[in-house]
Amino acid sequence: MKYIYNEKKKGAPVFVLLHGTGGTETDLVSLAELLNPEYNVLGIRGNVQENGMNRFFKRHGEGQYDWEDLEFRGNELYEFIEEKAKEYDFKMEDTVLVGFSNGSNIAIQMMLKQPETFKKAALFAPLYPADVAEKQDFSDVDVFLSLGEGDPIVPESESKRVISLFKERGANVTTAWVNGHSLTQEVAMQAKNWLN
């Protein structure tokens, strides 16, 4: 997987940056700088191609996930982050997942599969169109969700499903609403206040 690692301060938390469809490993670097300039940064590029665009997992259409591929890619990404944690000497528990759209979706997948690992996430425009039977314990998880009103990709009912997914598992959830499928300066500032 292609990635960048920017170390700002030994022992500081690490942002794991997960871009949206068509993005790259550097897309969310300016967001990370805004959220906290002292945190280290691991930006990862999705290694699935859809019409020449980078993604983290396959889908059959808008909002129609290839669940088998998501499972496989979620594990693959988790192992990749673990490798980098060893290589750059940081703890998995010190990571903060930061995702937009497709990146948020694979972040949710990893959090559900590794509930004891990820304790903090800022997820912008997430979509996870499935009912999850297993009740993971997210009581020590803090999550910031930026959701879209009138989002052409994520219906409001699906945004509410994501909120419920975290709340039902006991996570400490902070929500913000924006217009459409976007990541605005304003919501980035709200995420910054949440994080710090």
User: Catalytic residue at 101?
Assistant: yes
Which residue among the candidates 104, 146, 159, 181 is catalytic per the annotation? Answer: 181
Compute the mean pLDDT over every residue in the chain, rounded to the nearest whole number: 97
Tokens of 193: 């206040």
Q: What is the pLDDT of residue 62?
A: 87
The boundaries of the domain holding residue 100 are 3-195
pLDDT tens sequence across 138-182 = 999 999 999 999 999 999 999 999 999 999 999 999 999 999 999
Number of domains in the chain: 1
Assess whether 182 carries a catalytic annotation: no
Active-site residue among 101, 104, 146, 159? 101
| Helix, strand, coil percentages in the chain from 3-state DSSP, rounded to 5 | 35, 25, 40
C-beta of residue 56 within 8 angstroms of C-beta of residue 65:
no
- Residue 67 phi/psi, 5-degree rounding, is -65, -35
pLDDT tens by residue, 56-110: 999 998 889 999 999 999 999 999 999 999 999 999 999 999 999 999 999 999 9
Tell me the CATH number at 109.
3.40.50.1820
The residue type at 85: A
Tokens 């997430």 sit at which residue? 126
